[in-house]
Amino acid sequence: MNPLEQADHWLSAANLDALLEQGFFIVDEACPTALFNALIEESKHLQAEFQQAKIAQGGLNQAIRGDTTRWLLPTDTTGSQYLALLEKLGNSLNQQLYSGIRRVEAHYASYAAGDYYKLHRDTPLSSHSAKHPTQQARVISTVFYLNPVWHLAWHGELHLQDHSEQWHKILPLPNRLVVFQSNLLHEVCPATQERRSIAGWLRRDESIF
């Protein structure tokens, strides 16, 4: 399969329905193995560039989230391929739903054992969107797990509330992608092992750069 066709496979009719009805869907074996392994390698290789993550309001707050992150750049050999997949997903969503997605952003994230990210939504009003409160910048959130193995007993679940207020515990299994509406409540539970991922967002606004 051409790697970019991967994003079409992500947005099957059943997954699109789940996104609209429940607010999320999960794709296992989301990327070709070679790309999955290369993303793990790149994430580890860039470890020295990871920084303490900021909370959406802008500040550092380790009582809310403990992970470290590094934005994927178009110049990253492997990260750029993942960004292209997210763009393709955004284009497919625009074709199917007129969702108005204009750009994507994603960061490599690493949670050390014991780190967590407390209950939150990915759509706080930024100083820009506060002036345009109907325009939420982040529309769709994605998380792709970069753990080569993961055991139930290690925890580190993504705890996600769907549109019917049902809670789901989603393990960060190897090569698993979770796609959800950015306004859903969710949290990252602490794990007993290091937990690596790429968190990405499909956005409605234009780049400010």
Ligand X SMILES: O=C(O)CCC(=O)C(=O)O
Task: Give the binding site for ligand X (CB under 6 A).
Answer: 117, 122, 143, 158, 186, 188, 197, 199
Residue 11 or 199: the one with the smaller Cβ distance to ligand X is 199
Chain positions contacting Fe ion, by CB under 5 A: 122
Q: Minimum distance from CB of 29 to Fe ion (Å)?
A: 23
**Closest CB to Fe ion: residue number:** 122
The b-or-e profile of 57-78 (16+ CB within 10 A means b, else e) is: eeeeeeebbbbbbbebeeebeb
Counting Cα atoms < 13 Å in the Cβ hemisphere of 85 gives 29
Q: Minimum distance from CB of 189 to Fe ion (Å)?
A: 13
- The binder of 158, among ligand X, Fe ion, none, by C-beta within 5 to 8 A per type, is ligand X
Residue 4 or 163: the one with the smaller Cβ distance to ligand X is 163
| Closest by CA position to 136, among listed 121, 124, 152, 118 | 124
Give the position of tokens 């108005």.
100
Counting Cα atoms < 13 Å in the Cβ hemisphere of 88 gives 16
Q: How far is the C-alpha of 96 from the C-alpha of 39, rounded, in Å?
A: 29
Q: How far is the C-alpha of 113 from the C-alpha of 195, rounded, in Å?
A: 7
| Closest by CA position to 137, among listed 176, 102, 93 | 102
Residue 157 or 205: the one with the smaller Cβ distance to ligand X is 157
Residue 115 or 122: the one with the smaller Cβ distance to Fe ion is 122
Type of residue found at 34: A
Q: Minimum distance from CB of 107 to ligand X (Å)?
A: 8
- The binder of 191, among Fe ion, ligand X, none, by C-beta within 5 to 8 A per type, is none
Q: Minimum distance from CB of 97 to ligand X (Å)?
A: 22
- The binder of 177, among ligand X, Fe ion, none, by C-beta within 5 to 8 A per type, is none
- The binder of 30, among Fe ion, ligand X, none, by C-beta within 5 to 8 A per type, is none
Residue 81 or 199: the one with the smaller Cβ distance to Fe ion is 199
User: And the tokens for 142?
Assistant: 């994605």
- The binder of 143, among Fe ion, ligand X, none, by C-beta within 5 to 8 A per type, is ligand X
